[in-house]
Structure 1
Amino acid sequence: VSAGSIIVRQRGSKFTAGRNVGTGRDWTLFALAGGRVKFDKNSSRVNVVAEPAAAN
C-alpha cells in the first residue's frame, strides 16, 4: 500500500490503528507509510499495522 491510501472505511472503531496507520474523523484508517498491511487480532479488536517495505 502507498502512503496516504485508505486501508479501511468503517463506522465505529472495530479496527484500531497500529504503527504507520492514522485514523480519520470518521474512523477511516489510512497508511502513513508505504509498505505491506498486516491485520493482528487481539482479544476483542483487530489492530491494523502498515509495515514498511524492505529496502533492496
Structure 2
Amino acid sequence: MIPGNIIIRQRGTTWHPGENVGIGKDHTIFATKAGAVKFTDKRNGRRTISVIEVN
C-alpha cells in the first residue's frame, strides 16, 4: 500500500479509520503512509482499518 491508495469505499462509516489512514467526505478510507493494511474488530463493535509501516 502506498500513500493515497484507496483501501475501501463505503456508504456510511461501516469501517472507521485507524492509524496512518484518512477518511474522505464520502467516507472513503485511504492510506496516508506506506505499509501493510490491518483490519481490526474491537470489542465495542467498532471495526477499524489501519496501515502498519513496514521497513
TM-score range, shorter chain: over 0.9
% identity of equivalent residues: 39
Structure 2 residue ranges without an equivalent (≥5): none
User: What amino acid sits opposite 2:49 in the alignment?
Assistant: V
Give how far 1:45 is off: 2.1
- Structure with greater strand share of residues: 1
| Runs of 4+ more than 6 Å apart | none
Give CA deviations for 1:12-37 in whole Å, capped at 9, x if unaligned.
Answer: 00000000000000000000001000
RMSD of the TM alignment (CA)?
A: 0.7
Q: Which residue of structure 1 lines up, in the alignment, with residue 52 of structure 2?
A: 51
Q: What is the TM-score when the length of structure 1 is the normalising length?
A: 0.91
